[in-house]
Amino acid sequence: MTTTPDTKEFKRSPSHFADRITADGADGWPVEAGRYRLVVSRACPWANRAMIVRRLLGLEGAISLAITDPIQDERSWRFTLDPGDRDPVLGIAYLSEAYLAREPGYTGGISVPAIVDVPSGTLVTNDYQQITLDLEREWTALHRPGAPDLYPEHLRDEIDAVIEDVYRDVNNGVYMAGFATRQRAYEQVATRLFERLDALEERLSTRRYLVGDTITEADVRLFVTLVRFDAVYHGHFKCNRTKLTELPALWAYARDLFQTPGFGDTVDFDHITRHYYAVHRQINPTGIVPIGPDPRTWLTPHGRESLGGRPFGDGTPPGPPPTTETVPPLT
């Protein structure tokens, strides 16, 4: 990320490593079961998207998962949750080691999600916008039986339009508000954020999902911001005109998705709150992590079934997550 001196507005840097893993291997990285490792932080919404799509498509056996500590240090995302403080598959202590294996001397940002080539230990991609789309379109030969179509061809134009608006005003909008250092820049992006949330509230008051009658990529992308909204964005990022819980349709929609297999079972509120409040010291100098809100409200009835819809279309729900990937129950 960079900050422009004239407006002090937050700017998200484009992904530096944008190779693609494709069925035909056009970028030199062919789809291959067991070859790649997806590195994530449970705190990160962009990484959460990749985790959800991987679960829904049943790719757990095809691409393994590495989970970093939610707290970074100056050397980047670290594998201190694993025995010996090293990833057991890649053998590295920091994700930066895979970046440097790809580009020696690299001094840019170290971001998740990242996909690493296991045999070489080399980073393949950190293109968070493309990773999920390729899991949906290029990895089809390895999808589980009954995997949903999250990016149906006949709805792609509408999905793309929705996710562009959601990315600009919501996914990235909360960051632009949170890291703004001038009042006018903050007010502009915070206003756009809530105008978009109001429009989504209206859209979702009469339909269960954002596009069509099944879960799509658009829902995955909106969910990861909504699930973090009251816990961190409302207070920590000053997105406080309205809480998610005060927007009836969006709050019910978010709970509906949370209670759908593949969504809530990837969410760790402890990782989320500790990361944002402990790492962003320029916003929260004390590093104090708040005790709320109560995450058990995510399990309350949502009533969205009355709107119809088929969560997985002609497919089926994913099975339980692997035991090594389960999150603590809400208490």
Looking up tokens 């973090």 gives: 228
Judged against a pLDDT cut of 60, whether residue 9 lies above it is answered with no
Tell how strand 10-11 and strand 2-3 pair up. antiparallel
Phi, psi of 234 (to 5 degrees): -60, -50
Q: What's the topology of domain 153-325?
A: Glutathione S-transferase Yfyf (Class Pi); Chain A, domain 2 (1.20.1050)
Average pLDDT over residues 198-227: 98
Average pLDDT over residues 243-272: 98
| Spans of all domains in the chain | 2-142, 153-325
Average pLDDT over residues 166-176: 98
Residue 11 has a pLDDT of: 63
User: What does the alpha-carbon distance between residue 279 and residue 285 come to, in Å, rounded to a whole number?
Assistant: 9
Average pLDDT over residues 198-210: 98
Judged against a pLDDT cut of 80, whether residue 201 lies above it is answered with yes
**Amino acid symbol at 207:** R
Contacts of 117 by beta carbon, 8 Å cutoff, 6+ apart: 29, 35, 36, 123, 124
Count the Cβ atoms, other than its own, within 10 Å of residue 83: 7
Residue 331 has a pLDDT of: 76
DSSP conformational letter for 117: E
Confidence of residue 188 (pLDDT cuts 50, 70, 90): very high
The one catalytic residue in 151, 175, 253, 276 is 175
Q: Which CATH architecture has domain 2-142?
A: 3-Layer(aba) Sandwich (3.40)
Task: For residue 251, say whether it is annotated as part of any ligand binding site.
Answer: no
Average pLDDT over residues 15-29: 94
Confidence of residue 233 (pLDDT cuts 50, 70, 90): very high
How does DSSP assign 125-138, residue by residue?
E--HHHHHHHHHHT
What's the whole-number average pLDDT of the chain?
95
What would the pLDDT profile of 63-119 be if each residue is shown by its tens digit? 999 999 999 998 999 999 999 999 999 999 999 999 999 999 999 999 999 999 999
Judged against a pLDDT cut of 70, whether residue 10 lies above it is answered with no
The one catalytic residue in 36, 44, 128, 186 is 44
> Radius of gyration of the chain from Cα atoms?
19
Question: Is 175 annotated as catalytic?
Answer: yes
Question: Is 44 annotated as catalytic?
Answer: yes
Tell me whether residue 309 is exposed, middle or buried, using C-beta atoms within 10 angstroms of its C-beta: 0 to 12, 13 to 18, 19 or more. middle
What would the pLDDT profile of 287-331 be if each residue is shown by its tens digit? 999 999 999 999 999 999 999 999 999 999 999 999 999 999 997
Confidence of residue 4 (pLDDT cuts 50, 70, 90): very low
In the numeric block, which tokens belong to residue 4? 């422009």
What would the pLDDT profile of 56-65 be if each residue is shown by its tens digit? 999 999 999 9
What would the pLDDT profile of 122-161 be if each residue is shown by its tens digit? 999 999 999 999 999 999 999 999 999 999 999 999 999 9
Residue 13 has a pLDDT of: 65
Confidence of residue 1 (pLDDT cuts 50, 70, 90): very low
Question: What percent of the chain clears pLDDT 70, i.e. is strictly above it?
Answer: 96
